[in-house]
A and B are shown apart, each in its own frame.
Chain A
Amino acid sequence: MKFEGTKSYIATEDLKVAVNASITLERPIIVKGEPGTGKTMLAHEVAKSLNAEIFTWHIKSTTKAQQGLYEYDAVTRLRDSQLGDEKVKDIKNYISKGKLWNAFECDKRPVLLIDEIDKADIEFPNDLLLELDKMEFFVYETGETIKAVNRPIVIITSNNEKELPDAFLRRCFFHYIKFPDPETMEEIVNVHYPDIKKDLIQEAFKIFYDIREVPGIKKKPSTSELIDWLKLLMTDDVDAKILREKDPKKLIPPLHGALLKNEQDVHLFERLAFISRRENENAD
Chain B
Amino acid sequence: MFINFFFELKQAKLPVSLKEYLMLMEAMDKRVVDSFDVNDFYYLSRSALVKDERYLDKFDRVFGHSFKGLEKKDGEEVTEIPEEWLRLMGQKYLTDEEKKLIESLGGWDKLMETLKKRLEEQEKRHQGGNKWIGTGGTSPFGAYGYNPEGIRIGQKESRNKKAVKVWDKREFSNLDGDVELGTRNIKVALRRLRKFAREGAETELDLDNTIKSTAHKGYIDVKMMPERRNKIKVLLFFDVGGSMDAHVKICEELFSAARTEFKHMEYFYYHNCLYDAVWKDNSRRYNDNVKTWDLLHTYPSDYKVIFVGDAEMSPYEITYPGGSVEFWNEESGETWLTRLLNVYENAIWLNPIPERYWEQIASTSIIKQIFSDRMFPLTIEGIDQAMRELNK
Contacts and interface: CB of A to CB of B under 8 A. Distances in A.
Contact of B47 (A160, A166, A174): A174
Nearest to B30: A24
B27 A175 contact: no
Nearest to B171: A178
Interface string A83-117: 00000000000000000000000000000000000
Interface string B50-68: 1111001000000000000
A32 B53 contact: yes
A78 B220 contact: yes
A25 B23 contact: yes
Contacts of A217: none
Given A14-B47, A18-B43, A78-B222, A176 B56 contact: yes
Contacts of A163: 52, 180, 184
Which of B50, B203, B205: most chain A Cβ within 10 A? B50
Interface in B13-36: 15, 17, 19-20, 23, 26-27, 30, 32-33
Interface in A129-182: 160, 163-164, 166, 169-176, 178
B53 A13 contact: no
B244 to A, nearest CB: 19
B351 interface: no
A67 interface: no
A164 B51 CA distance: 9
A29 B51 CA distance: 10
B343 interface: no
B43 A27 contact: no
B38 interface: no
A27 B47 CA distance: 12
Nearest to B46: A14
Contacts of A32: 53
A62 to B, nearest CB: 8
Most buried by A among B43, B47, B52, B172: B47
Interface string B330-344: 000000000000000
Contacts of B48: 21, 173-174
B23 to A, nearest CB: 7
Given A14-B46, A75-B222, A25 B51 contact: no
Contacts of B56: 176
B219 interface: yes
Given A25-B27, A25-B30, A13 B51 contact: no
A172 B51 contact: yes
Contacts of A160: 180
Contacts, number: 77
Interface string B182-209: 0010000000000000000001010000
A14 B222 CA distance: 54
B33 A176 contact: no
B187 to A, nearest CB: 10
Nearest to A16: B43
A278 interface: no
A17 interface: yes
A25 B27 CA distance: 7
A82 B53 CA distance: 55
Nearest to A176: B53
Contacts of A37: none
A169 B55 CA distance: 13
Contacts of B77: none
Given A21-B48, A176-B53, A13 B23 contact: no
A17 B33 contact: yes
Interface in A26-53: 27, 29-30, 32
Contacts of B203: 62
A267 B64 CA distance: 43
A17 B31 CA distance: 11
B309 to A, nearest CB: 24
A60 interface: no
B40 interface: yes
A278 B1 CA distance: 63
Contacts of A261: none
A24 B27 contact: yes
Contacts of B23: 25, 27, 173
A170 B171 CA distance: 24
A270 B44 CA distance: 44
A20 interface: yes
Interface string B154-194: 00000000000000000110010000100010000000000
A216 B175 CA distance: 17
Given A24-B30, A176-B172, A18 B47 contact: yes
- Top 4 A-B pairs, shortest CB-CB distance: A18-B47, A169-B51, A17-B43, A14-B43
Interface of B: 15, 17, 19-20, 23, 26-27, 30, 32-33, 39-40, 43-44, 46-48, 50-53, 56, 171-172, 175, 180, 184, 203, 205, 219-220, 222
Given A17-B43, A18-B44, A81-B220, 5 more contacts: A21-B27, A21-B48, A25-B26, A25-B27, A29-B47
21 contacts: A13-B39, A14-B46, A17-B32, A17-B33, A18-B43, A24-B32, A27-B23, A30-B51, A32-B53, A75-B205, A75-B222, A79-B220, A82-B219, A164-B51, A166-B15, A166-B17, A170-B51, A174-B48, A174-B52, A176-B175, A178-B172
